[in-house]
Amino acid sequence: MILTRGARITGAVLCAVLAALVAGWIVRDLRAVGDPWVLVRHWAGYTDGRPGNPPATLQTDPVLLVVHVLALFAALRSPVAASTLVATGLVTSVLRLPGVWTIGSSWTDGRFSDELRTRALIGTFVALAAGLALVVTGAAGRRRPEGSSEPLPTRPGRRAGVTAFLALGASGTVMTAWEIRRLLALPDALRPGWYIGGELRTLGLTATPPGWSSLALAVICLVVASTALFRAVHARPLGMIAAGFLLVSGGCGIARAVHHGWLEHFGEVGTEQQLGVLTSFLLGLAGAAALLVLARGGVESTDGRNQAYGGYGYPQGGMPGHGYPPYGSTPGYGYPGGGPHGYGYPGGGAGSPQPPASPPPGW
């Protein structure tokens, strides 16, 4: 299935709205902080990188901006536009949902002005509405291709599916294990703030609580890993989004380890700190590997045309293609159907030859 022209335009407009919302908050933070490098250090999570004027954004916001911009271009031209819009809408909705209750919480009093909180709350509802609209547009705006020249959605290749399964599956499992560890280790007073936001766990005004975003990313990774193994169409766009978040998260963790000297004195830090550093390397490498293999051109899916490829231009059913009539319908080229025998091949019996096998799909 591919998107109609109206659905493509609608999806592109919605992605532009979402990108403008995130970009507006990033620009606001740049003006409030005054130094872009200070804001980058804040996003990376440096313990000594907290600016005096608290930013409204965190690490996920610049990644979302890139996702929205890429989804905008994919909506206009990509054969996987439908899956891209649905994946972008789901991820946006999941990450923006906590803002409904965190932005108006009492812990934001005094840290952010009432005007800023009102703008953030309105922006959250707009983002949620746009995210849900993307899901509806991608799901309801699909149609069957009208001709053989129209590009079809692409699935991951076999090797890409296996690589994504290993990389994203391992990442999702490790992240889930860390969240179980935190759930058991965090004090009762800090546990709610880690997952749903709170006064004892201060966040950016529009930011997602760290436990919430970590669990959401872990679930997405596990879902993509299981579907990529079976080469589902949606595994490519959703997997690339998950891989982008993993790459940034792992990269920021590595940067923190270098900045604070944890790598230089790796043997002297605690066991849990060592495991955290190793996890950052795992997430960064897994995200880069999954992003590389899923971003490559996949294999066209023939489900939209209701027809399986036979081999070398011989369709097995449906409408004729590539100048060849449906196999067995008329005599010709030595493959007679129900007519007279030709070129030594009997017609219509059990000895009728089969068309050549399909060539193996590539990446």
What amino acid occupies position 361?
P
**What is the tens place of the pLDDT at every residue in 198-246?**
776 667 888 888 899 999 999 999 999 999 888 888 889 999 999 999 9
| Per-residue confidence (pLDDT) for residue 2, from 0 to 100 | 75
Which has more confidence, 118 or 297? 118
Cα angle 272-284-61, degrees, rounded to a multiple of 5: 100
Q: Residue 32 pLDDT > 80, yes or no?
A: yes
Check residues 112 and 286 and name the one with the higher pLDDT. Answer: 286
Q: Is the pLDDT of residue 344 over 90?
A: no
CA distances from 355 to 88, 123, 309, 352 (A): 42, 58, 11, 10
Indicate left, alpha or beta for 332 from its phi (over 0: left) and psi (-120 to 50: alpha). Answer: left
Contact call for residues 313 and 321 (beta carbons, < 8 A)? yes
Q: How is 231-273 classified by DSSP, letter by letter?
A: T-TTHHHHHHHHHHHHHHHHHHHHHHHHHTTTTTTGGGS-HHH
pLDDT at 214: 94
Regarding predicted confidence, which is higher, 80 or 71? 71
pLDDT tier at 300, thresholds 50, 70, 90? low
Least confident of 44-48, 84-88, 173-177, 222-226: 44-48
Tell me which residue of 74, 98, 78, 102 sits closest to 88, measured CA to CA. 74
Structure tokens at 234: 């949606």
Q: What is the pTM of this model?
A: 0.79
The pLDDT confidence band at residue 329, using thresholds 50, 70 and 90, is very low
**Element counts in the chain: helices (H) and strands (E):** 11, 4
- pLDDT of 361 strictly over 80: no
Asked if 313 and 148 count as a contact pair (C-beta separation under 8 A), the reply is no
